[in-house]
Structure formats: structure tokens, C-alpha cells
Structure 1
Amino acid sequence: MFSAATGKATPRICFVGTASGDAESYRYKFYEAMSALDCRATHLSLIQPPSADLGAFVFAQDVIFVGGGNTRSLLALWREWGLDAILREAYERGIVLGGVSAGMICWFEFGVTDSIPGALTPLKCLGWLPGSACPHYAKEIERRPSFQRLIAEGAIPGGYAADDGVSAPKRTFSDPMRKANIQTIAPTATVGSLADNRPVTIVIWTISAAALSLIRQRPMTAHCYDLMQ
């Protein structure tokens, strides 16, 4: 999906692993996944920056893919390095931004995070997309009740929850939220695949405080593939 969104035959795709402490093992998985695609892969590490001019490096990319990990640390480091402002300009220039886990929620007004051990807590994020976001909605048992409780208490605005493996374009999050709406988003293209190309069950939930009492689980099947599997 990321490659297709650029409209380029061989896009430059850059992995940003700040949230994982720029872990080499995570980076290797990215390069392994990208080796099967017609693209030019690179990465941006804040431990070993690729250039003194981070802006020039970022603006030369077609896609910025942000990995998972500690969202609070990611935001702090981006602000310290000025990478948040650089990525905002990249966004305005039309460079495709996206990611998984921390790389999903960082773009929203608020995210639900386990950055602090012991509990899932609300975190103020970049605020470029409206509302709140919660990853791992079905996989991690505490995600669903915590996200719904925080919305009901008014700690965070209504927002979006995604199961693992989901792929959704920005327009999904730009539309006005529809109360009690549960919708499944199928990608226009894939950015990788599971080992045997199996379709996976994915759900994006659109949740508002007024809708919590009406929501029922109705998962549907769509073809989508997890880049980092």
C-alpha cells in the first residue's frame, strides 16, 4: 500500500526505528521485507544519523515507515532532534507517512500506550490526525476495555482502534466519525505478505463516547498483509 501511494515504480522507503531504540534486529526485518519489493530501502537512525542535514535526507524519501516500540520516547527524541518538524514538512510535501504500533498512533491527537510499565495510559501525540488511536486492539486483552474506558471518561477524544495486520489510508481518518460505526478497510495494494499469502481478519473500529453502549463486535474478512511478519 505504501509503495502504491507514492505513484512511483521504484519508491524510496525509509524505516524509522526510534521507538525501538533503533534496534538492529527490527531494522533487519524491514530490509528483509523490502528485498521482495521493487523499492529502494534505507533507514534513519538517531543513534547514528545518516546525515548532518536530517531534513535533506527525509525529503529525499518517498515513504517514511515508523516502527513500533515506546511512543513516549519516540516523541521526545523526535522533538529533541527537530525530526517532528521535519516530518511535518515532509507530510506537507506529499511524502507518505505511516507505520505500525507506535508508528500508527504517533500521528494522532492522542494514543493509548504501554510506554510506562504497568498500565495502558493516554499519551498526547503529534496531533496531525484528528481523534485518538489504539493499536493491537484484539491481540492484547487490556487494549479494548482501556481504550473504551478512556473515551467514556473523557480522558481522550473518540478515535480509531486497529487490529494487527490492518492497512488503512489517511482518508479513513479524515472523514467525520460516525457514531457506533464499525468498518473494515481493505488496502488498495499490499506492502508485503505473510509467508503463505493468507488473508488475515482485520477490523478498524470507529469509536465515540456516545457510541460505546451500542458497539458490538462484528469482524469481517479482508485481504491485508502485515509488513513485518
Structure 2
Amino acid sequence: MSHPHRLALVGGGFSTDEDGLLDDWVLGQARTPRPKVCFLPTASGDAPAYIEKFLAAFRARPDCEPSVLRLFDRKLDDDALRAFVLAQDVVYAGGGNTANLLAVWRVHGVDRLLREAYDQGSLLCGISAGANCWAEASHTDSFGPLTFLPDGLGLLPGSVCPHYDSEPGRRPSYRSAVATGALPAGWALDDGTGALFTDGRLTETVSRVPGAYVYRVTDGGGDVDERVLACRVLSRGTGTGTGAGTDAEAADLRR
């Protein structure tokens, strides 16, 4: 059976927001009404406080079954690990260090398991490093100063830049990287936004606050072309809705 490939980039959620609107939206994209949601805190080194924040937020919800996959204190053998990952309806990768996340996932074979889960219909999503990791490349501070990382799982063609509006230097640094070819064309997210991709196409953009946007950033032939994509503003009771949230045609990322 063929399953749609679904991936969400999230610029907020339980770790930064109190309203739960982006988490509502994420869960609304799951394949079941009460999804199993697994948090991967790898990018933070499995930080205990981060894990507790996730569990506090998601255990309080009646509409999901939360769990955590710790790799720095791994308990599962290879067979059990595969069974656990493939049983998840939503895999939620946390923020932290993108380069470290990718290295640890590869050592444990989690990168291959996530591709398998993706092929079987699991929704993959995440914030910051947990958004960067799904693309071919990303804009990151994994090595200290802001720079480009031409590495990723490649499930989302192109590049990703989080925190586009909130961290000094993000916007000009990412624009420069795309303009010079250091990074391929990609997607930049203001904090508080979300972008859903289905079968390689951008199918929805949302925001929990007016004035926060998702951007399509491409090489304009020596310069950079930055296109603002309008976002559907979420409100309580509408976070799980679907529908076009962009003022441009959905972009085919396979081109």
C-alpha cells in the first residue's frame, strides 16, 4: 500500500509557546485521531528538562500517546528499536545541535528507521535542529557562528533556515548562503509558524501569530529572491484544520 509522505517544519510548539496551537496543528496532521507521538531529544543531548517539558505538555493531552526515544542512554536492541520507531504516528525532533543530531542518529541507525517510518506514513516534524535535519542542507549554529551545513537526511529537497525573524544575523546569513550557492534554495521560518509538505509539495503554511511568515528563498542569479508565503493564522479550535495557507501555488520541490 502506498502512503503519503508527510513532513512538518515547526517554528514553535510546547518548548516555546503556552497556547499549544502549533502542537494542535501537528497532531491534526497525524494518520489517526489519537496518534502515538515520539519525542526525539537527541539534538539537546537528551536534556532531562527538555524531556520533562515534552512529557508535561503531551501527557496532559487526551488526544495522543506520548513517548520519548533516548539515544544517549539507549535501552532497546536493534529489533526493538525498529519496532518502536515504526509504531509511531508522529516523530517530533527537538531543537539543539543539528550536526550532533545527525551524527548520533546515523551511529544508531535511526536515520534509516526514520526513512522507513516516513515511507509507511508516519508524520515527521520538528523545531529548529529538528526542522533542519529533514532537508538536504540547513542553516545552523552547530559549529558556533552561523554557517551552512550541506548535510541532512534529504527527505525534503533543498535547505531550511529556522528562527528567521528572531535571531540576529539569521536572515542575511541565510540569504547570502543561498545567493552564493553555499546552500540550495529552501525554506525559512519565522518563529511561531509551521509548514507542511506532502509528497514533496508545500501544502500548508500556518502561524500562531499574525505577521509571522514562511519564506521561499531562491537564487535570483547573483542575488537572492525571497518570496513571502501567507500563513493561515491558527486559533483555538482551528489548529487541526487543513487547507491551503499560502498565497502562491504549492511549490513542487522535486524540480
My pick for the range that moved more, 27-36 or 141-150, is: 27-36
- Tell me which residue corresponds to 1:204: 214
Q: Secondary structure at the match of 1:55?
A: helix
RMSD over aligned Cα, in angstroms? 2.5
The match for 1:67 among 76, 91, 94 is 94
3-state SS of 2:220 partner: helix
Give distance in 2, aligned partners of 1:169 and 1:220.
Answer: 11
1:19 aligns with 2:46: no
Indicate the structure with greater strand content.
2
Structure-2-length-normalised TM-score = 0.74
TM-score norm. by structure 1 comes to 0.82
Partner of 1:81: 108
Contact 2:219 2:225 in 1 (8 A): no
Question: 2: distance between equivalents of 1:173 and 1:222?
Answer: 23
User: How far did residue 2 of structure 1 move?
Assistant: 2.5
Question: Identity over the aligned pairs, expressed in percent?
Answer: 40
Residue in 1 that maps onto 2:83 = 56
Unaligned runs of 5+ in 2: 1-24, 237-255
The one-letter amino acid of 1:103's match is G
Distance in structure 2 (CA, Å) of the matches to 1:75 and 1:167: 22
| Pairing partner for 2:205 from 166, 180, 185 | 185
Distance 1:220 1:94, change over 3 A: closer
The corresponding residue for 2:181 is 154
Q: Match for residue 34 of structure 1?
A: 58
Q: Relative contact order, CA 8 A, sep 6+: which one is greater?
A: 2
How far 1:123 moved relative to its partner? Answer: 3.5
Distance 1:140 1:220, change over 3 A: same
Residue in 2 that maps onto 1:168: 195
Q: 1:118 aligns with which of 140, 145, 150?
A: 145
Cα deviations by residue, 1:108-132 (Å, 9 ceiling, x for unpaired): 1100110001332333111111111
Name stretches of at least 5 consecutive residues in structure 1 with no aligned partner.
176-183, 188-197
Letter in structure 2 aligned against 1:202? A
The verdict on how the C-alpha distance between 1:7 and 1:217 changes in structure 2, with shifts beyond 3 A counting, is: closer
Pair 1:91-2:118 in alignment: yes
**How many pairs align?**
208
Give the Cα–Cα distance (whole angstroms) in 2 for the partners of residues 186 and 109 of structure 1.
Answer: 23
Shift of 1:224: 6.8
- How far apart in 2 are the matches of 1:169 and 1:213? 23
Give the structure 1 partner of residue 158 of structure 2.
131
Letter of the aligned partner of 1:134 in structure 2? Answer: C
CA distance in 1, matches of 2:66, 2:49: 16
- Give the SS at the match of 1:118: coil
